[in-house]
Amino acid sequence: MIAPDTEPIITVGLMSGAGSSKVALAGPFETANGDQVPEGHYVISRVGSAVRAEGPTTVEAPSLSLRARDIESCRATLDEVVIGIDFHWQRKESQTFQGTLTFVAGKDGITIINELPLESYLVSVISSEMSASCPPELLRAHAIVSRSWLLAQLFGDRPRPRPASATDDHEIIRWYGRESHADFDVCADDHCQRYQGISKAFSRAALDAVEATRGIALIWDEEICDARYSKSCGGMTEVYRAAWEDKDVPYLSSVYDFPGRPAEFAMPLTDHANAEAWITSSPPAYCNADVAASGELLGRILPGFDQETRDFYRWEVVYSQEEISKILFRRTGIDFGRVKTLQALSRGASGRITRLEISGEKRSLIIGKELEIRRSLSRSHLYSSAFVVRAETGRGDSYPDLFRLTGAGWGHGVGLCQIGAAVMSELGHSHREILYHYFRGSELRTLYQPKESLR
């Protein structure tokens, strides 16, 4: 197993393609050359192939780094950071960061990168993905999952999933990995892990969870687990190959998100009839807020903008014929004309569609995998690809007036179910029990402990 024996320093891409940016420095900073940069408000802009910071002093460099002289006390606040890019909660926030901010001039604008120790990064991740007021055992479980995922990307010896496609005139199958980030280790948004600086770390609980699990990662067969997670599995977690390349990852198997087996439902959910019965019902599950969690718990575990979404376990979207045609054209660039059918051709173990055929009056096309389907059928993203389609025709022709999509879950459904894990914690399960529930066959191992850093 390839693994670090000391805490790594990582780089996080905060923004790409910015025309200019405003940053407020609190505390002493310095450039990569050791020149002091006084605290105050700065405007960062591109000047040819260089970057200039104008404020209490003016600094210019091809790649401008502002390094905190004391990571614990120095702060840098960026204005108008975009979060939830392309998702239904997309918005801009001011966010505060520790460590070093580097501004790189590129052909599309300025890329902003934050460099900091991995454990400091995790404090933000677990309180950005979920609320820092979550039950302590959930925060500990999430710290281990988030640490494992990142270490697997940086040090794991399992072949990396790559952004890929199998595309021709009749079929587009795509999946997405972190390899699109050439200038930094991970991005700050949902494409990798939510990282919103220290703006969301408002309680001691997040820091305690990271300190209590320092250096601990999930291991399977002497490899660091590529631990995935999503907001709500919809009652059944998904397998790796449904979202990424066609390979089996043993610890990312399909798990019923509740004790025992769902005896009243026919399995497997790869069968379309079984999936329809599952999705159009409300089986007991840890992530079923109506069954196992109260509104008070959701208010504590979800960040503020996620609390705007409460129908994640079972949801419904209705499109008119005109609306679905416009969405498909806008999202795929293909003019299908009037849409005749949306037909699931294959499903994963959670009922999520992995191949969907769109048939229109001008052409037909098969799309996949789950994220491509979610992107194509929504102005932002569908909550998940676990849905069934009911077409309603009122005019008597073969082209429906309405398409009613009834769905389950929020996200790809692979690995840890965040809502389910929160409920497990609330019910008294330890972080170990939570992790062994979602990552079957894995074990926990401490990879590093000393508070040292690699550069």
Quick check: 345 pLDDT over 50?
Answer: yes
Considering only CA atoms, which of 407, 415, 275 is closest in space to residue 348? Answer: 275
Q: What's the rounded Cα separation, in Å, for the pair 346 and 194?
A: 30
Give residue 159's pLDDT.
45
At 310, is the pLDDT very low, low, confident or very high (cuts 50, 70, 90)?
low
Contact between 294 and 424 (Cβ < 8 Å): no
Q: What's the rounded Cα separation, in Å, for the pair 133 and 107?
A: 41
Q: In the 8-state DSSP scheme, what is residue 236? A: B
Segment 304-331 shows an average pLDDT of 83
| Burial classification of residue 254, based on how many CB atoms lie within 10 Å of its CB (0-12 exposed, 13-18 middle, 19 or more buried) | buried
Convert 76-94 to b/e letters by CB count within 10 Å (16 or more is b): bbbeebbbbeebeeeeebe
Q: What's the predicted TM-score (pTM) here?
A: 0.89
Angle between helices 418-426 and 431-438 (to 10 degrees): 140
At 180, is the pLDDT very low, low, confident or very high (cuts 50, 70, 90)?
low
Segment 290-314 shows an average pLDDT of 60
Contact between 183 and 111 (Cβ < 8 Å): yes
Give residue 371's pLDDT.
93
Q: Which stretch of 260-274, 305-319, 348-362, 425-439 has the lowest confidence by average pLDDT?
A: 305-319
Q: Which two tokens stand for residue 221?
A: 């067969």
At 312, is the pLDDT very low, low, confident or very high (cuts 50, 70, 90)?
confident
Compute the mean pLDDT over every residue in the chain, rounded to the nearest whole number: 87
Segment 260-276 shows an average pLDDT of 95
Distance of CA 210 to the CA centre of its chain: 19
Q: Which stretch of 134-148, 227-241, 271-285, 391-405 has the lowest confidence by average pLDDT?
A: 391-405
Quick check: 403 pLDDT over 90?
Answer: yes
Quick check: 163 pLDDT over 70?
Answer: no
